[in-house]
Chains A and B, each alone.
Chain A
C-alpha cells in the first residue's frame, strides 16, 4: 500500500498559489460580464529549498535528538501500559524528523513554537529536560507543569515553547497571536505553529490564515500530515489532500516536504525562515510524515493494515536513514552503539525520576488558578 501519493513521493515542492491564474475573457462579451478584480502583483515566493548539507557533527546531533524522542516515547508507551501515565497520551514515534529538522533551524529564545497535544517530541527537540517532561506525564509535582497539565498541556516560556494545547486547531490562532507579538515588539522572532492534517480542517485555522496574511505576520504554519486524523484517512476527511495548497485562498505560499528525512526538513526550514524573516508574511509547510503508533494509547489502529505501518518502518524510517548516512560518513558502529546506550540511559533516568518523584502536594490543588489576589 503506497503511503505517499505516487506523483510526489516525498518530494520537496514549492508552489506559489495562483501564480498564473487562468483568466480567460468571457466567451461572449456581455455588458453584464462580472468585473473581476485585478490580478495581484507578483506575490513573492520562497526559494526552492535544498536538502541541508550537514556536517558529521550536525547529523550526529540530529540523530541523537531523534533517537531521544523515539526512546522517550517508547518508554512513555510502556509506562502508560503499567498505569503510571493516565488519560490521553499521544506518541510522536515516526514523526521525529519533523520537529528535529524544523526546530534546529530556529533561534531559541527569539523564535516561538506552539503545537497541539502530540507535544513531547517538540519539547525534546527544543532541549527541554526529559526528566521534567516524563514527570509531567506521570503527574508528579516535579513535572514541568507541576503535574497539573499532563501530556497535552506542557509549556516552557523560557524556551518560548508555548504548549501543548488540547483543543484541535486552537494552537493556530494562538500561534498567530504569538507572531503578532513578534511583529508588534519588532523582536525579529518567527512563530512556528504546528498542527496536523486533522486540525487543518478546523475553521479557526483559516480565520488565522486570513489575518496572518492580511497583516503579514511572521509565522510558519506547519502541517504535520501523518495521513490520519485520529482514525480517518486523509482522503476520507479532506477535499483537498495536498495540504500545502490550503493557503491558496489567502495567497500564502505552500511548501511540501519529505518529513521522513531530517536533512530535507532542515533545508526546507531554512528557505521558509528566510522568506518569513524577510517580512513577506506567513508561509505554509506541509510535512509528509507517518505515525507508527495509534492516535493515542487507546487506539486499536483498525483503520490501517499492519503491513502499511511495517512498510514505512522498513523503507522510510527517519532514524534508520540518518544512521545509514552517518555510517556512510565514516562513523563507527561502536560509536553508534555508544550513542544508543547514552540515550537509553537518559531515558531510563527520566523514567526513574518520573516514577519515584512524589505526586503534587494536595495544597497545589488551589494554587495557580489566578495570578493575582483580589
Chain B
C-alpha cells in the first residue's frame, strides 16, 4: 500500500503553503531524513524531509503550486517490495493513516464545558475564646511574629531578601529574626530581585518554604517573571506534579513623598493571575493570621503590605496559633445603608468615612477584602443584598482595578440588588507626583468616599 505524503505543518500557525520545489522525482528512492521538497510558508522557505523509506511513486501536486492546504496529499511513496508503477494508474484510495491535522480539528468542539463550581471551603475566622488577652501590636511586629512563629514550627521556612538580616529589615519588619534563627535561615541577598525571586521559587519547587521579602513591591517588577511564569503556573503546567509554595512579601502601594517609581499598588496586577494567592491585609491581627496561613499553604502567595500602615497599632489576640482563612473577607463595621468595600490601607480610609457618615445619619457597612485572589464575592454580594448600594475604595489606579472587578461582580451577580450604580473611589489616574499638595490630591481620602456614598444614597 502506498504511503501518502501530506503537506506538512511547519509552524504552529501554518494553514497552507506553496510547494516551491520538488527535490525528488517519480521513481527516486528516498530514505528517512532525505530532503524531498521546499515549501514556502508565510514566514520562510522550509525543507520537507522524508519520514519513511521507499520509492516516490507519484507526485500529485506539481512544484510552484500555491495555497496547498496542510494535510493535502502531495505525493505517494511505495514501500519496500511494492510496485511503484501501480500508483501511476490508480492513485490511492488509501486509508488515511494519519489523523487530521490539529488545526482542522478543534479538540473539544461541541463539548459543553461546565466549570466546576469553585469548591469554597466553608470557613470563617476561628472564634476567639472569651477572655483572650488582646495585645496592642503594630502591623510591623505582627508580621515579624508571624514569620518567627512559622520558623519555629517548620524547619523548612526561611526568610530571604535585601537587608533582612544584619540591617534588621529596611522597614524593620524582620527585626530580631537573625538573632533567633541565625544566618542559615535569615539571608541577606545582594540587590538582585530577579535572581533571588528565582532562587526562592526554585527552593520552593525543591521542597522548602521560602519567604522572599521585596524591599518594596516596586522592585518586584524586576522579578515579576518568576512570580508569574515560574511560581504561579508551575502546578498547572505540571499537571499537579510540581508545587511552588513560596511567599513573596513586602510593602506595596504609595508610601510618602517618594515619587512615581516608588509608589504603586500592584494588587490588581497579581490578582489577575490564576495560580497565585494574593493577600493584602489591613490590621495587625489579619496581618499576622494571614501571613501564617500564607507560609503554610501549598500555593504561591503574593503578600502585599503597606509601609504607611506598618507603624499603626491594633489589637492582636494572644493565642498560641492565630491562623486565619485565606480567601475570606471581613466585615469591619456593620451597617445597613451602604456597603463600602476596600482592602489594605483603603480600609482605614473607609472606616474614617464611615464614622463621619454615621454622624450624618448614614449607616455604612465596611468590608475588608483581605484576600484579593481568590476574591470573597459571597460576602460582598450578601452585603449588597442588605444595603443595595456599594462604593469601592482603593488606594490605586482606577483602570482595570480591584474596584473595577467588584463593579463587574456586582453587576453580573447582584444586578437585582442594586439601587444605584457602584462607584469607584480610587487614586487619580496619574503617576504619583512628588509635591506634597499634588500627592495629596492624587490619593484617596475619606472626603471623596463620603461624596461617593452620598451619591449612591442619593443624598449628595
Contact = CB atoms under 8 A, between A and B. Distances in A.
Interface in B231-280: 234-243, 245, 274-275, 277
Contacts of A86: 12, 102
Contacts of A147: 239
Contacts of B184: 184
B285 interface: no
- The dominant DSSP class at the B interface is loop
Instruction: With a 10 A CB-CB cut-off, give which of B45, B99, B115 has the most chain A CB atoms.
Output: B99
Interface string A57-97: 00000000000000000100110111110111000000000
A210 B199 CA distance: 12
Given A149-B237, A170-B225, A374 B374 contact: yes
A173 interface: yes
Contacts of B108: 359, 362
A170 B226 contact: yes
B99 A355 contact: yes
Interface stretch (B60-68, B202-210, B390-398, B418-426): B202-210
A152 to B, nearest CB: 9
B98 to A, nearest CB: 5
Contacts of A166: 229
Interface string A285-309: 0000000000001101110000000
Given A162-B206, A359-B107, A177 B242 contact: no
A77 B50 CA distance: 11
A214 interface: yes
Contacts of B208: 180-181, 184-185
A207 B103 CA distance: 41
Contacts of A143: 239
Given A80-B9, A374-B374, A208 B44 contact: no
Contacts of A176: 195, 198-199, 202
Contact of A372 (B204, B234, B297): B297
Interface size on A, as a range, is: 35 or more
A371 B10 CA distance: 37
A167 B197 CA distance: 15
Nearest to A75: B51
B195 A204 contact: yes
A298 B195 contact: no
A204 B202 CA distance: 13
A297 B10 contact: yes
B102 A363 contact: no
A204 B198 contact: yes
Contacts of A178: 202-203, 205-206
A335 interface: no
B200 interface: yes
Contacts of A373: 119-121
Interface string A178-219: 101110110000000000000000011001101100110000
A155 B326 CA distance: 28
A260 interface: no
A271 B12 CA distance: 42
Contacts of A355: 99
A120 interface: no
Contacts of B204: 177
Interface stretch (B143-151, B186-194, B442-450): B186-194
Contact of B239 (A181, A366, A368): A368
B181 to A, nearest CB: 12
10 contacts: A163-B242, A170-B198, A170-B230, A172-B198, A173-B201, A174-B202, A208-B195, A211-B195, A298-B10, A368-B240
Given A145-B241, A355-B99, A372-B297, 15 more contacts: A81-B8, A83-B100, A83-B102, A155-B234, A173-B196, A177-B198, A178-B203, A204-B198, A208-B195, A210-B195, A211-B190, A215-B187, A359-B108, A363-B116, A368-B240
Q: Which 7 A-B pairs have the closest CB atoms?
A: A177-B202, A173-B198, A207-B195, A83-B101, A146-B239, A374-B327, A300-B44
